[in-house]
């Protein structure tokens, strides 16, 4: 490619996914940077050192902070930020290569669509798909916004989209999804609490069913069968837990002597 491309990955206990992710981009990128969470207990660091040009182990400081650090270690201006449970298929890699070879000065970023494999099938409706996310960008024109654990990149310039989605192997099973809901809802509640967002009963009463109806009816999650129903219910539960934990944080703060 005329423009060099660095892949930036953050990982913790990802030995089952990381090799597949990095092997899929070996012919696409010029450099791989992996930031490994210092609390990782499996073979993640070993796999990273076998496949990446630069590996750094550091304590987890938050999703945005870890990714910002990984991007800061990249050699090239163009970066691909990818998670260990994601795979860039060959057709998408070809599209990206062509887009970067023909990139003009106005192009600052490229959005990728993600298709998720869960509960035995590719999910093509509901809150899971389409799932456009800015993953390829010029780091000299980009900055991070949002709150953990779901920060986002904002760029100054034109943003293009690729037709072929990347593959997202997000959850091993339903139990894994529930475990992540627990972690992500806690992180989101803490972020809201730190911003001074008050806990409201109407959030607990109205937001979860509204999210279910959006995912299952408005976004046609019912077309994915029983998995679509389960995903919509789990998403609504995530919303409920987020605001319930926010209420708990506020109550604990007010109860402290």
Identify the domain containing residue 117 by its residue range.
5-168
Same domain, yes or no: 150 and 26 = yes
Q: Is 67 exposed, middle or buried (0-12, 13-18, 19+ CB in 10 A)?
A: buried
Of the residues 148, 168, 188, which one is the last residue of a structural domain? 168
Same domain, yes or no: 157 and 217 = no
- The dihedrals phi and psi of 52, each to the nearest 5 degrees, come to -105, 150
Q: What is the pLDDT of residues 68-115, one digit of tens each?
A: 999 999 999 999 999 999 999 999 999 999 999 988 999 999 999 999
Same domain, yes or no: 46 and 100 = yes
Same domain, yes or no: 149 and 210 = no
CATH number at residue 99: 3.90.550.10
Q: What is the pLDDT of residues 118-169, one digit of tens each?
A: 999 999 999 999 999 999 999 999 999 887 777 889 999 999 999 999 999 9
Of the residues 168, 198, 229, which one is the last residue of a structural domain? 168
How many CA atoms are closer than 13 Å to the CA of 57, on its beta-carbon side?
12
158: three-class secondary structure by DSSP: strand
Count of Cβ atoms closer than 10 Å to residue 99 Cβ: 17
Q: Is the predicted pLDDT of residue 257 greater than 60, yes or no?
A: no
Q: Is the predicted pLDDT of residue 1 greater than 90, yes or no?
A: no
What is the rounded end-to-end Cα distance, in angstroms, of the chain?
62
Same domain, yes or no: 76 and 150 = yes
Task: Kindly indicate the confidence band of residue 255, based on its pLDDT and cuts at 50, 70 and 90.
Answer: low
Q: Is 165 exposed, middle or buried (0-12, 13-18, 19+ CB in 10 A)?
A: buried
Residue 76 CA to residue 35 CA, distance in Å, equals 16
């Amino acid at each position: 490619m005329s423009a060099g491309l660095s892949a930036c990955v953050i990982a913790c206990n990802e030995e089952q996914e990381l090799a597949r992710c990095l092997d899929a981009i070996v012919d696409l990128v010029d450099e791989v940077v992996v930031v490994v969470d210092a609390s990782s207990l499996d073979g993640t660091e070993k796999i990273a050192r076998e496949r990446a040009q630069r590996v750094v182990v550091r304590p987890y400081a938050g999703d945005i902070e870890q990714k910002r650090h990984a991007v800061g270690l990249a050699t090239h201006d163009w970066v691909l930020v990818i998670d260990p449970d994601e795979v860039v298929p060959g057709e998408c890699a070809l599209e990206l290569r062509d887009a970067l070879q023909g990139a003009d000065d106005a192009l600052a970023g490229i959005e990728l669509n993600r298709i998720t494999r869960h509960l035995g099938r590719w999910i093509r409706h509901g809150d899971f798909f389409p799932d456009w996310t800015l993953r390829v960008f010029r780091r000299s024109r980009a900055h991070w916004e949002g709150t953990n654990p779901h920060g986002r990149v904002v760029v100054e310039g034109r943003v293009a989209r690729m037709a072929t989605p990347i593959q997202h192997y997000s959850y091993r099973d339903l139990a894994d999804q529930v475990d992540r809901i627990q972690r992500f809802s806690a992180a989101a509640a803490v972020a809201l609490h730190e911003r001074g967002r008050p806990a409201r009963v109407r959030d607990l009463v109205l937001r979860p069913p509204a999210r279910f109806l959006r995912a299952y009816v408005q976004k046609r999650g019912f077309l994915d069968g029983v998995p679509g129903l389960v995903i919509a219910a789990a998403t609504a539960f995530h919303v409920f837990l987020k605001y319930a934990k926010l209420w708990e944080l506020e109550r604990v703060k007010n109860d402290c002597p």
